[in-house]
Structure 1
Amino acid sequence: KDALNGDRVLAFLTDHAPKLVISYGCHKLSAATRNSCDAVFWNTHGGLSPEYRGVITHFWPSYFLEPQMTGMTLHETTDFLDGGGIVFQTAGSMIRGDGLHHLAARTVREYTERLAGKLAALDMSALPSGKIQTNSGRLFMSTDWRPEHLLLIYRHHEDRIVDQVLDGEITGRVPRLISEI
């Protein structure tokens, strides 16, 4: 983490002159790092921005009884946490029998598969801008989560929240996904 914005990364970016840099789970890239080359910087975020920003974002949708909002967002990298213009989003498929962990894992897999196809078709000389986020949603911090939150998922709902949505026992929002690519 301490070397992320250091000389070695800056030298790598300068030497390779990428057109596009995609980060995922690496902490915050500084403005100096982003300005060290002519690349466009996008970040993969494990949640649907702006509704679920910050950390542990595959947990919170199920906790708030809306597992259909479990998703991934590719957004422009800025100084604001998960706040850049949205380039691409996916929501995880709701599959009967899925618990919290399976839904989260499937969400990441489906996102990476779809993103790979989108990236292969991109014209690197004309990368699109993201769609500006018009509201702030909720920013979850690591201090928001406690192990006791799992009691709702595992004890009360027996890790069957996806099935409860599919059966119409729980209703909620439908994700409005964005794709600029």
Structure 2
Amino acid sequence: MKTIVILTGSEKRHTFFRKYLKNTKGIKLLKSFSESQKGNIQSLVKKDSINNDLRTKHLLLRDQVESDFFEVFNDVVQNSNNVFIEKGEINNKKYVSEIIDLNPDLIISYGCSIIKSNLISSFKGRFINIHLGISPYYRGAGTNYFPFVNNELQFVGVTYMFIDKGIDTGNIIHQFRAKMNTCDSIHTIGNRLIKDMAIVCSELILKFDSINNVKQKITPSEIKRLYRKKDFTEESLRMLYNNITKENIISKYLENKYLIDDKYPIINLKLNK
């Protein structure tokens, strides 16, 4: 039995994640901390009321597809020893002390604020951060969004890494690329990936003791991108939808997937063995 604490957000995808792990055999969730949605991408777009039509529609559609994927599960499955906190409060001494006292085997973070407390040092080698994106190629915000803007779908995926004080810079434990179909949208790809991410995360937790000294790969230095929330613009969305609908980048990527992927190595453990 592995004991864990989860640090996450409070949107539907985060609720699915913590409830899925709570109900996984062999995992005991001691407590989860869900930060509020204050300062999320929707609120930032809303402030830019003069020029936000395309982004607003995109985010509304994202929320709808997220509901289609996760809402039934979230409504049926029991809670996850969860406490709701304000954005950034995960670094407060009160919660840091509580987590240290709980002394879980592992801390799992997904979609929470940047950790600035001594949780990093207190749980060195036991604190896993889940990064939606393939690191170190894409770091920061929107790391499964901007590969569609840049026509680099080989970088849509998930990275599990040990947390450190940088932005998505810790040693990588495991990665995998997103499953795609020619009829997909960016939202169906993204939510399917989150579903798969939770499943793989449970496997990593259960097999954690057998995962030692994962060799880090050398990645091509010409592709290392760092994005911020402010980079999510109307123009970037126009490029994204042009790439998907007119340039057919999903079909073109799938036609040459193995050749493209091979050029950009990732760390992928054989968890099913």
TM range (shorter): 0.7 to 0.9
SS at match of 2:129: strand
**Structure 1, unaligned runs of 5 or more:** none
1:142 aligned residue: 229
Most deviating of 73-82 and 35-44: 35-44
Query: Residue 74 of structure 1 contacts residue 88 of structure 1 at CA under 8 Å; is this kept in 2?
Result: yes
Partner of 1:88: 174
1:149-173 deviations in Å (ceiling 9; x for gaps): 11122245417421232345xx845
Distance 1:69 1:7 in 2: 36
* Structure 1 residues 27 and 134: CA distance shift in structure 2, 3 A: farther
Q: CA RMSD in A?
A: 2.5
Three-state SS of the structure 2 residue aligned to 1:35 is: helix
Is there any run of 5+ residues in structure 2 with no aligned partner, and where?
A: 1-86
Q: Counterparts of 1:24-35 in structure 2 under 5 Å?
A: 24-35=110-121
Q: Which residue in the other structure is 1:128 paired with? A: 212
Measure the CA separation in 1 of the matches of 2:160 and 2:119. 19
Report which stretch shifted further, 110-119 or 77-86: 110-119
Shift of the 57–18 alpha-carbon distance from structure 1 to 2, 3 Å rule, reads same
- 1:33, distance to aligned residue in structure 2 (A): 2.6
TM-score, normalised with respect to structure 1: 0.83
Aligned counterpart, 1:166:
254
Q: Shift of residue 45 of structure 1?
A: 0.4
Q: Work out the percentage of aligned pairs sharing the same amino acid.
A: 26
Higher-RCO chain (CA-CA 8 Å, sequence separation at least 6): 1
What is the alpha-carbon distance in structure 2 between the residues aligned to residue 176 and residue 108 of structure 1? 21
Are 1:68 and 2:154 matched, yes or no?
Answer: yes
Q: Which residue identity is paired with 1:76?
A: F
Which residue matches 1:4? 90
**1:2 positional shift:** 3.1
Q: What is the CA–CA distance in structure 2 between the aligned matches of 1:8 and 1:131, rounded to whole Å?
A: 36
**Contact 2:141–2:229, Cα closer than 8 Å, also in 1:** yes
